[in-house]
Amino acid sequence: MITNGDCTIIRSDDGDYRIVGTYPCMWQECEDYEVKKYGEENADKAAIWIPDLTADVKKHDFICRGELTEVGDLDGMLTVMSVSRHDYGSEYMHHIEIGAR
pLDDT in tens, 12-57: 988 899 999 999 999 988 765 556 666 655 556 889 999 999 999 9
pLDDT at 75: 79
pLDDT greater than 80 at residue 8: yes
Q: Which whole number is the average pLDDT over 93-101?
A: 93
| DSSP letters for the chain | ----EEEEEEEEETTEEEEEEEEEEEEEEE--EEEETTEEEE--EEEEEES-TT----TT-EEEES--SS----TTPEEEEEEEEE--SSGGG-EEEEEE-
pLDDT at 45: 84
